Amino acid sequence: MDSRVVTILIESFPKILIPGLVRTIPLTAISFSLAMVIAVAVALIQFAGIRGLRQLCRLYIWVIRGTPLLVQLFVVFFGLPHVGVVIDPFPAAVAVFSVNEGAYAAEIIRAALESVPAGQMEAGYCVGMSYLQIIRRVVLPQAMRTAFPSLANSLIAMVKDTSLASVVTVAEMMMATKQLNALYYEPLALYLETAFIYLMFCTVLTRLQSWGEKKLSAYERKGAV
Amino acid sequence: MTLEVKAVTKRFGTLEVLKGIDLTVEQGDVVAILGPSGSGKTTLLRCVNFLERADAGTLTFDGEDFDLAHIGKKDILRLRKKTAFVFQNYNLFLNKTALENVTEGLVTARRMPKEEAVAKAERALDRVGMLDRKNHYPSQLSGGQQQRVAIARALATDPEIIYFDEPTSALDPELIGEVLSVMRALAEEGMTMLVVTHEMNFARNVSTKVIFMEDGVVLESGPAREFFEAPREERVKAFLRNIERKEEK
C-alpha cells in the first residue's frame, strides 16, 4: 500500500467514524427502541387474541415482511412528498426502520411468549393474579429472556441495514464514505475501512449480547447462587 | 368454610370426563380423591378452581352459590384469593426465586406491603423447611424442594382450602416423603385440603374422607377408615386389592 492511500485512510477515519457516532448509532438506537415497543405490543395483542386488533397486526406483519426495506424507504422519503407529506431524512429513516424491525421482532416475541409453559399462567391465576399481572410479571419476562439472543441478532443486523439510509440522504457512514470516495477515488481502501468500523460496532454489540445473556440467565443456572 | 359442589359435568369433544359429580368438603376435612388414571379426578379439581370451565354444575363456597358454567371473571378472581392450588409439576414461577414465588401473590394480587409479604413468605418457607433456600431459583432446586416451595406459596395466602393435584406424582420415590410429611403436618394443624392422589398411605393415614372416582362418576365416598376397612363397591374392593398386592411386592 503506498503512502498516499495510508494518508487518505488516516484522514478519512474520523470523517467516517463521526457520522457513525452521530448518525448510524442514534438511528439504530432510536429505531430499535421504537421497534421493541411496537413488537411487544403487536406480540401481546396476538398472544391475547384480541379480536379485530389481531387481524390488524397480521396485516401489518404481512405487508412489512413482504416488501423490501429499500422500497419502504423510497415510499416514505420519495413517495410521500408527492402527496404533500414531507418528512426530514432522519425522522423518515427512523420511522421506516422502526416499523420494519417491529414486524420481525413481533414474530420473535410472539413465538417466545408461546414457548412459556401454560402452567406459569395457571399458577399465576391460582395465587389470585389477574391476566395482565401474570403477563407483566411472569410471562413477558420469561419470553424476553427466550427472545433475547434473536433480538440481539436483529439489532446487529439493523446496525448494518442503516447503511441503506444513505440513499435517502441521511448523512451516515455509508454516505460519508461515498463522498470521500468521490474526492479521492480509493473505493477498495475506503469501503474496507467503513466495513471495519461497522465490524467494530458489531463487535461491541456481540460482547454486550453475551454479557446480557449471562445476566438474564441467572434463573436458568444450575448449582448454588 | 364449606365447599359444596353439585352435579358437575364436563366433556372434551365427545369424551364425557365428568358425568355429574357431587362433593362436600367441611372445615378441617382432608379429602382424598382416588381412582384409576383417566377417571376425571384432575379435571374435577381443575373445574373447581376454574382452570377448566365445567359444562354444568354449581359450587357453594361459604354459603355463596355460583354457577360453574357461567361464573364471571370477578367472582373467579375473588374465589381464587380464598383458595390455593398445588400442581403436579409444581409450576413455580421460573423467573423468580423461592422467596419471590411466595411473595408474588401477596404483593401483586393482594397489595400487601413488601416487608410484610417477605416476613409472611419467610414464615411459610420455614414451615416447609425451605427457608435456607429462599434465594434459589426453581432450576436450582430438586423436585421435592420445588414442591415444598409451591406448598409455601399456597400457605402464605392464608387460603381457606388448598387443592392438591397429584402433588407427588412427578417426584422421584426418594423425594416423595419430604412432600408428604409437609402435607401431613398441615393436616394435623387443621388445614382444609382436597387432594387428588395415588398415595394410598396418605389417603389411609392422613385423610378424613375418601372419594373414589371412575369413568367420570363417584363410585364410593365416605370416611377414610370405612372406605379402607369396609368398602361397599366390588370395584373399590378390587382396586384396593390390586394396590395391596403392588405394595407387598
Give the per-residue pLDDT at A223.
Answer: 47
Provide the pLDDT confidence category of residue B65 given band limits of 50, 70 and 90: very high
Residue A222 pLDDT > 70, yes or no? no
Average pLDDT over chain B, rounded to an integer: 94
Q: How many CB pairs under 8 A join A and B?
A: 79
The residues of B whose Cβ lies within 8 A of any Cβ of A are 49-51, 77, 80-81, 83-85, 87, 89, 91-97, 104-105, 108-110, 135-140, 153, 157
Output the DSSP codes for B66-106.
EETTT--HHHHHHHHTTEEEE-TT----TTS-HHHHHHHII
Mutate to test the interface with B, among A121, A127, A137, A139 (most CBs of B within 10 A): A127
Residue B101 pLDDT > 90, yes or no? yes
Digit-coded pLDDT (tens) for B167-222: 999 999 889 999 999 999 999 999 999 999 999 999 999 999 999 999 999 999 99
From its phi and psi, is residue A52 left (phi > 0), alpha (psi between -120 and 50) or beta?
left
Residue A141 distance to chain B (closest CA, Å): 7
Output the CATH code of domain A3-218: 1.10.3720.10
Give the per-residue pLDDT at B174.
Answer: 87
Backbone CA torsion sign across B152, B153, B156, B160: negative
Residue A106 pLDDT > 80, yes or no? yes
Give the per-residue pLDDT at B243.
Answer: 83
Digit-coded pLDDT (tens) for A25-58: 999 999 999 999 999 999 999 999 999 999 999 9
| pTM, entire model | 0.90
d(CA B218, CA B34): 10
Digit-coded pLDDT (tens) for B230-240: 999 999 999 99
Q: Which domains does chain B have, with CATH numbers?
A: 1-82+202-249 (3.40.50.300)
Give the per-residue pLDDT at A225.
Answer: 42
Give the per-residue pLDDT at A2.
Answer: 83
Residue B34 pLDDT > 80, yes or no? yes
Residue A178 pLDDT > 90, yes or no? yes
Q: Of all residues in chain A, what percent are helix, strand and coil, respectively (each to 5)?
A: 85, 0, 15
Average pLDDT over chain A, rounded to an integer: 94
Angle between helices A25-48 and A53-65 (to 10 degrees): 140
Position B158, amino acid: D
Residue B94 distance to chain A (closest CA, Å): 7
Give the per-residue pLDDT at B245.
Answer: 80
Provide the pLDDT confidence category of residue A221 given band limits of 50, 70 and 90: low
Stretch B8-22: mean pLDDT, rounded?
95
Of A129, A133, A222, the CB nearest to B139: A222
Reported ipTM: the value is 0.93
Provide the pLDDT confidence category of residue B15 given band limits of 50, 70 and 90: very high
Answer whether A127 sits within 8 Å of B140, measured CB to CB.
no
Eight-class DSSP state of B138: G
Q: Which of A113, A169, A171 is nearest to A138 (CA)?
A: A113
Digit-coded pLDDT (tens) for A119-162: 999 999 999 999 999 999 999 999 999 999 999 999 999 999 99
The sheet that has B209-214: what strands, in order across it?
A: B83-86, B161-165, B193-196, B30-34, B209-214, B217-223
In chain B, the residue whose alpha carbon lies closest to the alpha carbon of A129 is B109
> Which three cell numbers, joined as nine digits, stand for B239?
382396586
